[in-house]
Amino acid sequence: MNILSFYLNNFGRIMSALEVHIFIFLVALTFSTVIGMAISIFVTQEGREKIGRIILSVMGAAQSVPSLVIIALIFIFVGIGVKPAIIALVIYGLVPIVFNATSGILSVRPNIIEAGKGMGLTQNQLLWRVKIPIALPVIMGGIRSSSTIIIGSATVAAVIGGGGLGDFIFIGLKLQKPEMLITGAITVSLLAIIVDYIMAKIEKKVVSKGLQIKKT
Amino acid sequence: MIELTNVTKKFGNKIAVNNFSLHIEKGSLTMFIGPSGCGKTTTLRMINRLTPFDKGNIIVNDTPINDVNPVELRRNIGYVIQEIGLFPHLTVFENVAIVPRLLKWEQKKIERRIEEILELVTLNQSFAQKYPLQLSGGEKQRVGLARALAAEPEILLMDEPFGAIDPINRLKLQDSFLEIQEEIKKTIVFVTHDINEAIKLGDKIAIINEGNLIQYDNVSKILSDPANEFVENLLGQDRNIKALSLKKAKDYVLKDGFITVLDTESRESVEKKMKEKNIKIAFALDENNHLKSRFVLEKATETKKQKFIYNPAPWIIERQNNINEALSKMLEAGEKQLPVVNRKKEFVGIIKLSNIFEEVNKKTNIS
């Protein structure tokens, strides 16, 4: 009951923290996606497959680095505030996107690429009309996990002044007010679940039906 | 049409294609055959510049291919590979429309063309909206062929297109492929490692070994006059029987000696018609000319009176079957004559065992 009354009494504050949280998440995800796709496209161009595979193993390893480490490093080198927090989240959110997009593009079957080339598709057409659409389920999977990771890590980024729902958790911790801490945690979790649901819907929409068919 | 002059290609120190010269005529179907790693696929891929060559010259349509933008060149040459490489995220329609769209055809023209091309490869129009994952191996191969032919290229390059298909469907695909070629008369270069396929399909065969062109000639010439032991071994011991397979059922189709009736007609009326015309065999067709059943009037003997036999699913020979296959079907069916259909399954006539034997006699007299 404590939590509910805290919720009702502080509704305005919670909503504005949620707004900040969503804003940070959207900005970070947009940058992560654009930069991540650019990196993946660059390292998967014909002749650079070797770099692509190196990037894959680096990203695989990077996935095990705790978000706190990145946030701490950004704090040391960039400082405090919303901007450093977003930079940290962009970097951390890059990892699954680059990992998935690179492996997705590299695993498009060679005979499909061979057929495309044989029909007279240019390298660009091959990339945008064949490789990326075929790798899209994997790429979308990367963007989905990046979303969840950014929403979660944004609470940690509150320690370097990112703001958002993380403030409730950390302040609640310091003031020993469990209802405040739990309110922050529950709201962040709900946000993550809802965003993941929306992402799943988008994925279903943008991925070609031909790739969603189960083999009969 | 395609002229290779002293073409050489090395991979590192290994010579893949050695001083290769070959002239491919317009409208002919040329088979490249040889053991794996002999350079046949490399040679094929040099024609659309997927593999660059080191020395020599290749001329397509009077233009050296190195003077043409490779992307432009490839849009004007159809290309079919064994794994087909259909794009899984596109429908059959979109797959087939790729090159026409690259060439910026109008949408109306593309739609008309795709209808036409699906008809040509005997795929029902409903396939247009299917995705590759919903197709069988044979259907995929037909779509692959349709896609290669969509923009009406003069030249078609095919790299073991039927290699991954099971033997029964492969024979069917070969038959319908021959009928299609009879209709479209493209200049086709076809790589295979199957000598029977080469003999069955080819107008000319180029036999390749270790990057060298061993023999390049008409199929019958190669069978009757192999250049050396390598070619003899490739052809196998039974090359005289293989020579028989050059003759196609379509060359022996008879248009008389039978009557056709509608499959809705009653047996009595069919029997009456046959007796009137003194004809012993009748085929019942539906409105699309598809063969439905067969009636045979057997001669009366001393002990039996005349018998009227109804056969709901008679054995069928396809026009493109060679006479080996036709003969084998007759032996299996125990029949002296069988009906012949084209690739659209339309009834075209009958073939008689006695005609085939005449051919066999001719052959054995020669050799």
Comma-separated ranges of CATH 3.10.580.10 domains in chain B: 250-366
Cβ neighbours for B278, distance < 8 A, ≥ 6 positions apart: none
Q: Encode chain A (216 residues) as per-residue pLDDT tens digits.
A: 578 888 888 889 999 999 999 999 999 999 999 999 999 999 998 888 888 889 889 888 888 888 888 888 888 998 888 899 999 999 999 999 999 999 999 999 999 999 999 999 999 999 999 999 999 999 999 999 999 999 999 998 888 888 889 999 999 999 998 889 999 999 999 999 999 999 999 999 999 999 988 655
Cα–Cα distance measured from residue A216 to residue B19, given in angstroms and rounded to the nearest whole number: 48
pTM over cut 0.90: no
Measure CA B190 to chain center.
Answer: 11
Q: Which CATH class is domain A2-208?
A: mainly alpha
Long-range contacts, stretch A130-134, CB < 8 angstroms, 24+ apart: A130/B87, A131/A44, A131/A105, A132/A105, A133/A208, A133/B89, A134/A104, A134/A108, A134/A211, A134/B87, A134/B88, A134/B89
Residue B164: predicted pLDDT: 82
Nearest neighbour of B99 by CB, restricted to A114, A120, A133? A120
| B306-321 per-position pLDDT tens digit | 777 788 778 888 888 8
| B263-318 per-position pLDDT tens digit | 888 888 888 888 888 888 889 898 888 888 888 887 766 676 777 778 877 888 88
Q: Do A111 and B83 touch (CB under 8 A)?
A: yes
Cα–Cα distance measured from residue B341 to residue B328, given in angstroms and rounded to the nearest whole number: 17
Give percent of chain B above pLDDT 90. Answer: 47
Q: For residue A210, what are its two tokens?
A: 């031909």
Residue B280: predicted pLDDT: 85
Residue A1: predicted pLDDT: 57
Lowest mean pLDDT among A32-36, B17-21, B92-96, B248-252: B248-252
pLDDT of B363 > 70? The answer is: no
> Where does the pLDDT of residue B367 fall: very low under 50, low under 70, confident under 90, or very high at 90 and above?
very low
Interface test with A, best of B76, B89, B96, B134 (most A CBs within 10 A): B89
Residue B364: predicted pLDDT: 52
Residue A201: predicted pLDDT: 95
Measure CA B227 to chain center.
Answer: 26
Q: Do B50 and A121 touch (CB under 8 A)?
A: no
Q: Give this complex's ipTM.
A: 0.86
Nearest neighbour of A115 by CB, restricted to B76, B85, B133? B85
| B161-210 per-position pLDDT tens digit | 988 888 888 888 898 899 899 989 999 999 999 998 999 899 999 999 99
Q: Which of chain A's residues have a Cβ under 8 Å away from the Cβ of B91?
A: 210
Nearest neighbour of B102 by CB, restricted to A109, A114, A120? A120
Give the burial class of A62: count Cβ atoms within 10 A of its Cβ; 0-12 exposed, 13-18 middle, 19 or more buried: middle
Q: Which of chain A's residues have a Cβ under 8 Å away from the Cβ of B81?
A: 111, 114-115, 118
Tell me the residue length of chain A.
216
Question: In this complex, how many residue pairs, one in chain A and one in chain B, have their CB atoms less than 8 Å apart?
Answer: 79
Q: Which of chain B's residues have a Cβ under 8 Å away from the Cβ of A112?
A: 85-88
Nearest neighbour of B133 by CB, restricted to A117, A120, A213? A213
CATH, range B2-246 = 3.40.50.300
Mean pLDDT of B105-129: 94
Q: For A126, which residue in chain B has the nearest alpha carbon?
A: B87
- CATH-assigned architecture of domain B250-366: Roll (3.10)
Cα–Cα distance measured from residue B45 to residue B58, given in angstroms and rounded to the nearest whole number: 12
- Could you state, in order of their start, the residue ranges of all structural domains in chain A? 2-208
Interface test with B, best of A46, A114, A119 (most B CBs within 10 A): A119
Q: Do B131 and A117 touch (CB under 8 A)?
A: no
Q: Which of chain A's residues have a Cβ under 8 Å away from the Cβ of B105?
A: none
Q: Do A117 and B74 touch (CB under 8 A)?
A: yes
Q: For B144, which residue in chain A has the nearest alpha carbon?
A: A115
C-alpha count within 13 angstroms, C-beta hemisphere, residue B353: 11
pLDDT of B114 > 90? The answer is: yes
- Pick B24 or A47 by higher pLDDT: B24
Mean pLDDT of B6-31: 92
Nearest neighbour of A120 by CB, restricted to B75, B88, B134? B75
Q: For B95, which residue in chain A has the nearest alpha carbon?
A: A116
CA distance B84 to chain A (A): 7
Residue B361: predicted pLDDT: 67
Q: Which of chain A's residues have a Cβ under 8 Å away from the Cβ of B73?
A: 120
